[in-house]
Amino acid sequence: MIDKSQYRDAMAGLAAAVNIITSDGAAGTAGCTVSAVCSVTDEPPTLLVCINRASANNEIIRKNGNICVNVLSADQRHVAMQFATKGLSVTERLACAKWSVLETGAPVLNGAVCAIDCQVDSVSEVGTHTVFYCRVKAVQNQPGSDGLIYFGRDFHRVGVNMGGPAEART
């Protein structure tokens, strides 16, 4: 049996984009830093987002029925840290950057690599987390931006101008 610390150590080797997940609607505004986001299919465009069930954001997202996945640029590490800080209100979290909206009304982070605005289609409960399956309603891209990944329990810049494909550098 794999214990929790072994699993977490293994996951530290799984690089993932850093995202700010936002929602807004009748239940209020939510926002948190998340790395558990994955494309499911492009027909229809759908992705999944995993949020801890103990997070206050979880219930707000369920009730609002929308999510915007804001994929952070390399220069937005401070935004990731702000949204990951426990004890800050969503108003305090949002104050660290400029925001707009697309179709669902969920906050869209200005300067993000991309923003993927979604309607929640269904949810599944898996262990400590809720998996939100989200239908993409609108996308906003910022071409040429370096991205921010989480790897080895730290943030790292990744980009198209980082030296070419790995096989070309060996």
Over residues 68-104, the pLDDT tens digits come to 999 999 999 999 999 999 999 999 999 999 999 999 9
Residue-level pLDDT at 167: 57
Mean pLDDT of 147-165: 84
Sorted by where each begins, the domain ranges of the chain are 4-155
- Could you confirm whether domain 4-155 is CATH 2.130.10.10? no
| Average model confidence (pLDDT) across the chain | 93
- CA–CA dist 93, 109 (Å, integer): 12
Q: What is the pLDDT of residues 119-137, one digit of tens each?
A: 999 999 999 999 999 999 9
Instruction: Please enumerate in sequence order all residues whose Cβ is within 8 A of that of 159, keeping only pairs 6 or more positions apart, or say none.
Output: 74, 145, 146, 147
Which two three-digit tokens encode residue 106? 């969920």
* Cβ 73 vs Cβ 113: under 8 Å: yes
